[in-house]
Chain A
Amino acid sequence: MSAPGLAIPFGRDGSSRFLPALTLLMVFLAGLALAAVMDLERALASWDQRLTGTLTVELPAATGADDKSLDAALAVLHAEPGVTSATPIDRAATAKLVEPWLGAVLSPADLELPRLVDVRVDASAHVDLAALRAQLANASPGAMLDDHQLWLDSLARFARSAEITAIAILALIGGIAVMSVSFATRTGLAVHRDVIELLHLMGARDSYVARQFERQALRLALIGGVMGLALAAAALLALSQATSAAAFLGDSVTLLPPLHLRGWNWAILALLPIIAGLVAMATARLTVLATLRRLP
């Protein structure tokens, strides 16, 4: 004899086709949303790490930004104990920074560009930025010290908003999945009413019937989930390739940041079909038990 199959003929109702297709779509969308959350976390940490320990001193063009003013600013910076280096950025390099917006037609001599000094500080030294800012203004009138906090805060706010949106999308996907499985289970209960009554008359408890639906929901959700994960992985790899290619070609201003998922990110994504299966299983069980409780 072969191993016993499910007593309820699930192959005869539409849920066998509906549930895998639905789970495929849900896991695909959840995979993209989750990848976005994880990559934003990584990008945010990376930006924070890159900008922590760097300062920029800006000497306005209007005050001349001449060598005397620059030397005075550099002297203040070199005298500060926490500063590890202070490197003036030459005019050509500064012009290169504004080239994406102004084009390469104008030469650095045509532009009244401020002089910039790239300052590296020892992150553990706790430099008093207010005092340093005052000393710089005193030594070189008009000098401004930018610790990038304003830009970093805006970026962090944007990243957090995007993260919250992605998490809300994930929650929405989960909610829709639960409602859909519940609907499919109710349909299955109606379609197989006769067999369920037969099982009850044989002495089956509600939990026995629920187990049949659970096993079916788990199987179908896993099938759909694995396919959805494969599709999401393909889409993420394609996206990663596209953003890497753009960076390789020197396209420094791209709409999308480069996508870099790490090994553990992929491991979390690989859990999605299992989570989808467990959610489908639990939903099917609760729906069956709640529905059968109303029977005589």
Chain B
Amino acid sequence: MVRFENVGMRYGTGPEVLRDITLRLDAGSFHFLTGPSGAGKTSLLRLIALAERPSRGLASLFGEDLSRITRADLAPLRREVGIVFQDFRLIPHLSAFDNVALPLRVAGVTEAKLRDNVREMLEWVGLADKLDAKPPTLSGGQQQRVAIARAVVARPKLLVADEPTGNVDDAMALRLMRLFEELNKLGTTLIVATHNAALARQFNRPVLHLEDGELQAAVAARAAS
């Protein structure tokens, strides 16, 4: 599903923030991405979520070579990727319903068709009674659940979550992780960045560890050679 080989990335003409990234996320897998602040976790997730383009190496998503894909072809590919941010990135003037409905509206789904889908998603995250609530009136945990509902409402093949538990308490963090597990059981491929190693350990999933823009496996291999 996701295949990177010796991928490097830089912002503009700046230094490389990711170096020699080689990884593979198979369909239906669930990976954690760990590493200290500034290690490049967000940059790697932005690459996977098609927010950035690699500056070198081979990167493919759903079998498409990202170095060859045109800008116009990115839009349908992006619809196959859901994304959850640490700071939720909800649109404050829209209700919870409208925030969740946004990916479907962007994809051109009619109002009649999206209504039940959106309600079902908000019900799934336990916010059936908050359809009309605006994000500023919701707690951090509630906002993140709306963000998760929004990320998965279009049934993406891949879900990318960048520190989704960073702004919620431990109990809510566990609840959110359970939601991710449910999604994974339904067939969604997940990669979740977290600096909370203890939380990652609880779920016994493969961990990709980033240090200074390089995956730990790559660092270890270089040290051994």
Evaluate contact between B75 and A204: CB separation under 8 angstroms.
yes
Using known A-B contacts A208-B106, A296-B52, determine if residue A202 contacts B93 with beta carbons closer than 8 Å: no
Nearest-neighbour CB distance to chain B for A7, whole angstroms, equals 6
A11 within 8 A of B: yes
Give complex CA distance A12, B101 in Å. Answer: 22
Contact A7 to B94, CB < 8 A, known contacts A201-B50, A201-B83, A202-B78 = yes
- Give the contacts of B58-110 with A (CB-CB under 8 A): 71-72, 75-79, 81, 83, 89, 91-95, 97-98, 101-103, 105-107
B131 at the interface (CB under 8 A from A): yes
Which among B103, B106, B111 has the greatest number of chain A C-beta atoms within 10 A?
Answer: B106
What is the CA–CA distance of A5 and B91 in the complex, to the nearest angstrom?
Answer: 11
A203 to B102, CA, bound (A): 10
A41 at interface, CB cutoff 8 A: no
Check B53 for interface membership: any CB of A closer than 8 A.
yes
Within 8 A of B (CB), among A190-216: 194-195, 197-205, 208
Question: Which residues of chain A come closer than 8 Å to B102, judged between CB atoms?
Answer: 7, 199, 202
Which residues in A have their C-beta under 8 angstroms from that of B105? Answer: 4, 7
Q: Is A109 an interface residue (CB 8 A)?
A: no
- Given known contacts A203-B75, A203-B79, A204-B106, A197 and B51 CB-to-CB distance under 8 angstroms: yes
> Do A296 and B53 have beta carbons less than 8 Å apart?
yes
- Provide the bound-state CA to CA distance between A128 and B213, in Å: 97
Main DSSP-derived SS at the A contact region = loop
Whether a CB of chain B sits under 8 angstroms from the CB of A1 is: yes
Chain B interface extent, by class: 20 to 34
Q: How far is the CA of A57 from the CA of B49 in the complex (A)?
A: 90
Contact residues in A for B178 (Cβ distance below 8 Å): none
B11 → A minimal CB distance (Å): 10
Tell me, in angstroms, the Cα distance from A195 to B89 when the chains sit together.
8
Q: Which of A203, A205, A208, A296 contacts B51 (CB 8 A)?
A: A296
| Cα distance, A295 to B74, chains bound together (Å) | 12
Residues of A contacting B77 in the complex (Cβ-Cβ under 8 angstroms): 203
B115 at the interface (CB under 8 A from A): yes
Whether A205 lies near B75 (C-beta < 8 A) is yes
Cβ-defined contact, B53 with A4, below 8 A: no
Q: Which of B49, B53, B93 lies at the interface centre, i.e. has the most chain A CB atoms within 10 A of its CB? A: B93
Query: Assuming A4-B105, A5-B98, is B49 touching A201 (CB within 8 A)?
Result: yes
Report A257 CB to chain B, min CB distance, Å: 53
How distant is B197 from chain A, measured CB to nearest CB, in Å? 27
With A and B bound together, what is the CA distance between A202 and B85 in angstroms? 13
The smallest beta-carbon distance between B64 and chain A, in angstroms, is 14
Q: Which residues of B contact A9 (CB under 8 A)?
A: 91-93
When A203-B103, A204-B75, A204-B106 are in contact, do A5 and B94 touch as well, CB less than 8 Å? yes
Distance from B52 Cβ to chain A, minimum over Cβ atoms (Å): 6
In the complex, besides A1-B97, A194-B89, A203-B106, 4 extra interface pairs with C-beta distance below 8 angstroms are: A5-B94, A12-B93, A200-B78, A203-B107
Q: Give me the 3 closest cross-chain CB pairs, A-B, nearest first.
A: A203-B79, A203-B78, A204-B106
